[in-house]
């Protein structure tokens, strides 16, 4: 998923972003595929996507709003970022905050942060999330129980839809994956391409960070995630939205609404014939 921290991922969801209608009668009555085989097929496709996206950079724009107990927005912060992947992990460099380019001091600190993240990403297996990062869709699908399959149209395309809930006995690594076991939600699978088109999840129980001393992410925090075919039919993330409610350090209540828009995918290749002269070449 563009990649969704524990607080960002385990939270989650969603105002429905599109009108879902029934697919035409002929499709609606067609036999549904075996759900387990479908999930395995989707997982394999998603793993391929997660490898192919290494050849892409993209831009993202994030908005975070602080919400008070009455539902009023008390603070809004925005950031614009340049994103790329290292060893399966997304690295996000902030280039603007609240519409303004970073000053020299903040830009230097960002460069130092990115350097450390790249080093950590190179040492972290692709199937394990970096600290503070979200869980991949393929990993989410591997730790869920699913049911209630049905067929619907989504954005004008036929999809197989099913509900899921985290398996308590699933083996996980790190906070983000631990939090995923407390999720429940619904997923839309594009029936033709066998790709995840839409995901909506919510935390079905409170999730404690540091035994609750660091943070207590509240039940009902939710998240929505979208993918679309963006380059020659390759499915890549296009955006996310969510609401997080938490109690931080036992004293501060936090309620935040966030949106994440992903755009301007660029494909690049590295000329490896002469490593000393290797160059990144961008292009559509």
pLDDT digits (tens, 9 = 90+) for 91-102: 999 999 999 999
With respect to residue 1, please indicate whether it lies within any of the assigned structural domains. Answer: no
Q: What is the pLDDT of residue 59?
A: 94
Look at residue 47 in the predicted model and tell me its pLDDT. 76
125 within some domain: yes
Residue 11 lies in a domain: yes
pLDDT over 60 at 9, yes or no: no
Residue 281 tokens, joined: 């070449």
Rounded Cα gap, residues 275 and 284, in angstroms? 24
Predicted confidence band of residue 237 (pLDDT cuts 50, 70, 90): confident
Average pLDDT of the segment spanning 72-88: 92
pTM above 0.85, yes or no: no
User: How far is residue 102's CA from residue 108's CA, in Å, rounded to a whole number?
Assistant: 9
Tell me the pLDDT of the chain averaged across its residues.
Answer: 76
Q: What gap in Å lies between CA 118 and CA 120, rounded to an integer?
A: 5
Quick check: is 32 in a domain? yes
Give the count of domains, the chain: 1
DSSP 8-state code for residue 204? S
pLDDT band for 73, please (50, 70, 90 cuts): very high
Tokens representing 26 are: 């002929």
**Nearest CA to 6 among 230, 171, 248, 227?**
248
Q: Which of 105, 109, 95, 85 lies closest to 62, judged by CA?
A: 95
Q: Is residue 112 part of a domain?
A: yes
Per-residue pLDDT, 129: 65
Quick one: pLDDT at residue 87? 84
As a whole-number percent, the residues of the chain with pLDDT over 90 amount to 29
| Host domain of residue 135 | 6-283
Average pLDDT of 56-77?
Answer: 92
How far, rounded to the nearest angstrom, does the alpha carbon of residue 226 sit from its chain's CA centroid? Answer: 8
Whether residue 230 lies inside any domain: the answer is: yes
Instruction: Report yes or no on 155 lying in a domain.
Output: yes
Task: Answer yes or no: is 255 within a domain.
Answer: yes
Residue 18 pLDDT exceeds 70: no
Q: What is the pLDDT of residue 250?
A: 57
């Amino acid at each position: 998923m563009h990649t969704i921290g524990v607080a960002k991922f385990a939270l989650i969801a969603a105002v429905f972003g599109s009108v879902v209608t029934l697919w035409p009668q002929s499709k609606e009555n067609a036999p549904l595929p075996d759900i387990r085989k479908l999930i395995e097929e989707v997982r394999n496709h998603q793993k391929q996507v997660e490898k192919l996206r290494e050849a892409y950079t993209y831009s993202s724009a994030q908005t975070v709003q602080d919400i008070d107990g009455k539902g009023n927005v008390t603070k809004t912060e925005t950031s614009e970022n340049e994103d790329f992947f290292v060893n399966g992990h997304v690295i996000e460099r902030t280039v603007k905050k609240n519409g303004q380019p970073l000053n020299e001091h903040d830009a230097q600190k960002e460069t130092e942060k990115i350097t450390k993240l790249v080093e950590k990403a190179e040492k972290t297996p692709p199937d394990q999330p970096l600290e503070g990062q979200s869980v991949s869709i393929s990993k989410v699908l591997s730790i869920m129980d699913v049911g209630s399959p049905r067929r619907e149209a989504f954005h004008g395309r036929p999809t197989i839809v099913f509900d899921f809930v985290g398996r308590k006995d699933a083996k996980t690594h790190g906070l983000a994956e631990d939090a995923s076991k407390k999720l429940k939600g619904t997923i839309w699978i594009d029936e033709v391409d066998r790709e995840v088109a839409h995901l909506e999840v919510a935390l079905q129980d409170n999730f404690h960070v540091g035994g609750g001393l660091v943070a207590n992410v509240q039940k009902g925090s939710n998240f929505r995630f979208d993918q679309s075919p963006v380059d020659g039919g390759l499915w890549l993330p296009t955006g996310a939205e969510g609401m997080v409610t938490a109690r931080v350090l036992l004293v501060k209540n936090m309620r935040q609404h966030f949106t994440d828009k992903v755009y301007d995918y660029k494909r690049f290749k590295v000329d490896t014939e002469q490593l000393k002269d290797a160059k990144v070449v961008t292009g559509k």
